[in-house]
Amino acid sequence: MNWFYSAVRIAGASFPVSSMLVQLQAELDAKKFNNRLQKLENPISALHEDINEISCLIYGKIKRTDDLLIEFENHIYRKFSRVLAVLEKSLFIKGLHVIGSERFAKGLRICDPTYVLYLSQLFEEQKKMGKIFKKVDSCAIGQELDGKLIKKEINVPLPVIKAIFDVFEAKGYGICSRVIGSAVYIGTA
């Protein structure tokens, strides 16, 4: 088919029908380009067409439970089984499976902080996210930030704050406390 559109482009506006085909090809090319650009700008949403819908449900659970362990009713798992499989295969979530039971029998755990930040980008107030990011980004060497205090101050789920801490730690800018139940970050760079 590519040869045909190449020939149409050469013929250009010389023939009445070919000018319509040139326009059609330009529109198809633009659509392909926009799809490719969207995948570059937002690769997570490009994983599956239902990613935004399940992500909205997941973030709603994070806000209600203040936890990365998510449990849905069975009909949600069935409805979104493919997109959840894609998220699990991409290592954004980890299903808590039981042999001989339905998939995600014990729920799922979000295990990638970048997915939490993706959810925050879509469903959290950006002004709040900007405040948290600024606070962590300006953390001085030796300064300690308590995620629980930040949560009270800015009113964002603690897992979101911990995800920001984890991302900064992965860059080598600080360290996160590994004490169970704590949410502390200390600047080191």
Query: What is the pLDDT at residue 30?
Result: 62
Proportion of the chain in helix, strand, coil states, percent, rounded to 5: 60, 10, 30
User: Which residues on adjacent β-strands are paired with residue 175?
Assistant: 186
Print pLDDT tens along the chain (189 aa). 455 555 455 555 555 555 555 566 666 666 665 555 455 456 788 888 899 999 999 999 999 999 999 999 989 999 999 999 999 999 999 998 877 777 787 899 999 999 999 999 999 999 999 999 999 999 999 999 999 999 999 999 999 999 999 999 999 999 999 888 889 999 999
Query: What is the pLDDT at residue 40?
Result: 47
- Ranges of beta strands (E only) in 8-157 are 69-70, 93-95, 108-110, 144-146
pTM above 0.85, yes or no: no
Instruction: Give me the domains of the chain, ranges plus CATH numbers.
Output: 2-41 (no CATH), 46-110 (no CATH), 126-187 (1.10.10.10)
User: Which residues fall within 8 angstroms of residue 73, CB to CB, at 6 or more apart?
Assistant: none
